Amino acid sequence: MTYNADERGYYGEFGGAFIPEMLYPNTEELRQNYIRIMEEPSFRKEFDQLLKDYVGRPTPLYFAERLSKKYNTKIYLKREDLCHTGAHKVNNTIGQILMAKKLGKNRIIAETGAGQHGVATATVCALMGIECVVYMGEIDIARQAPNVARMKMLGAEVRPALSGSRTLKDATNEAIRDWINNPVDTYYIIGSVVGPHPYPDMVARFQSIISEEIKWQLKEKEGRENPDYVVACVGGGSNAAGAYYHFLDNPNVGIVAVEAAGKGIDSGESAATSVLGKVGIIHGSKTLLMQTQDGQITEPYSISAGLDYPGVGPMHAHLFKSGRGEFISITDDEAMKAGLMISKLEGIIPAIESSHAFAILEHKVFNPEDIVVINLSGRGDKDLNTYINYFKL
């Protein structure tokens, strides 16, 4: 049994490409070429070089001694927060901009929620000198002014999504509409392991550098490649997909997925898709999603802008449904406290998304000899205002 995508882009019952015919030629072109291109030596070489010299990889695998002592287990942090632009997102945008170039595209579109993927996309477009349009919900534009400014400085055009709830899901709709209207010259850089096949698999492959490095880094430090647990937060799920990737088919490695419970699972303001979602279709993928009984997609909530997506990547839906992954939901309050704890204990201010992953240490007990890798997906600079307001700093 494998937990990776099959050739039709299915993870068990989840995935596929539920797209209108207008998008068929674009996704088909990508589907037919993505693996071949990714395996070309020239692509590999350029990708690896940029990850090393531009992104700053490999990111450290850091033994968190004080944190380990506190929870009486061995905890390593995978430091994706040290990537250029401040999070793992750039691993994927580097890969996809090279893919776009190979496919001869000269215009890039992207969606963004909090702005992290938008910034990572604008960054690689600046690097390559390619036109970039980022769709962002009108409400998010107001909430995330610094990231909007970053994208503008990087030369991107930020277009407000004015439809629906005017947040991430609507920005995604607008980006897809742009692609429908510009099918020939435009490439759509999706920011997570969501969307129609081949996006979830392609993004997971680009992010898989995270677990590839964990393996050899852990071998150096502990003499073994496989940890007992890998822990990551899941919104759409790209940092988690990358952290799990090379451990998916090894049952000895426990997979822990951390979702945002928002103000509580039953509060009506939550983003815990595995608990609250049902099987359906969102953004071209069959997966678990939060919806009304009638099949209308609902608006999720989390204090962390990167986790409030109403769906989850099909890989994660399958990990949940099959029982391969353990899913834990963490409230705003628990995540914020964990963020403060990591700051004081390890001198690292995590992104609130990543703080959710740390908060499970209060819920789940590990053995003293367990090796637990927590993916520190991003740094907290972008969240300072939220931390300030929350803790009245």
Partner 1 sequence: MNRINKKLVEGKKLLSIYFTAGYPKLGDTVKIIEDLEKNGVDLIEIGLPFSDPLADGPTIQESSTIALENGMHTELLFKQLKDIRKSVSIPLIIMGYFNPVFQYGVEAFCKRCQEIGIDGLILPDLPLDVYQNEYEHIFKKYGLINVFLITPQTSDDRIEQIDSASYGFIYMVSSASTTGAKEGFGEEQKNYFERIASLKLANPQIVGFGISNAETFNQATQSSKGAIIGSAFIKHLAKNGVDSISGFIKNIR
The residues that touch partner 1, with contacts defined as CB under 8 A, are 16-22, 24-25, 163-164, 169-170, 173, 176-177, 180-184, 278-284, 291, 293-298
Nearer to partner 1, 145 or 162 (CB): 162
CB of 259 to partner 1, least distance (A): 21
- Among 338, 291, 339, 283, smallest CA distance to 313 is for 283
Nearer to partner 1, 58 or 196 (CB): 196
CB of 187 to partner 1, least distance (A): 15
- Helix then strand then coil, in percent of the chain rounded to 5, is 50, 20, 30
Q: Dump the DSSP string for 20-79.
A: -GGGHHHHHHHHHHHHHHHHSHHHHHHHHHHIIIII-PSPPEEE-HHHHHHHTSEEEEEE
Nearer to partner 1, 39 or 294 (CB): 294
Beta bridge partners of 14: 11
CB of 22 to partner 1, least distance (A): 5
Residues 256, 326: contact at Cβ < 8 Å? yes
Residues 120, 87: contact at Cβ < 8 Å? yes
CB of 17 to partner 1, least distance (A): 6
The pair of three-digit structure tokens given for residue 148, joined into one six-digit string: 């909007």
- Among 116, 111, 155, 157, smallest CA distance to 133 is for 157
- Active site amino acids: 89, 111, 377
Nearer to partner 1, 177 or 364 (CB): 177
Residues 116, 103: contact at Cβ < 8 Å? no
CB of 10 to partner 1, least distance (A): 11
The answer, yes or no, to whether the previous bond of 227 is cis (omega within 30 of 0) is: no
Nearer to partner 1, 15 or 227 (CB): 15
Letter string b/e over residues 138-147, b meaning 16 or more CB atoms within 10 A of that residue's CB = bebbebbeeb
Nearer to partner 1, 119 or 288 (CB): 288
C-alpha 58: how far from its chain's center?
18
Which residues touch 149 (CB under 8 Å, ≥6 apart)? none
Residues 351, 334: contact at Cβ < 8 Å? no
Nearer to partner 1, 180 or 275 (CB): 180
CB of 182 to partner 1, least distance (A): 7
Residues, the chain: 393
Biggest CA-to-CA distance, the chain: 56
Residues 257, 328: contact at Cβ < 8 Å? yes
Beta bridge partners of 174: none
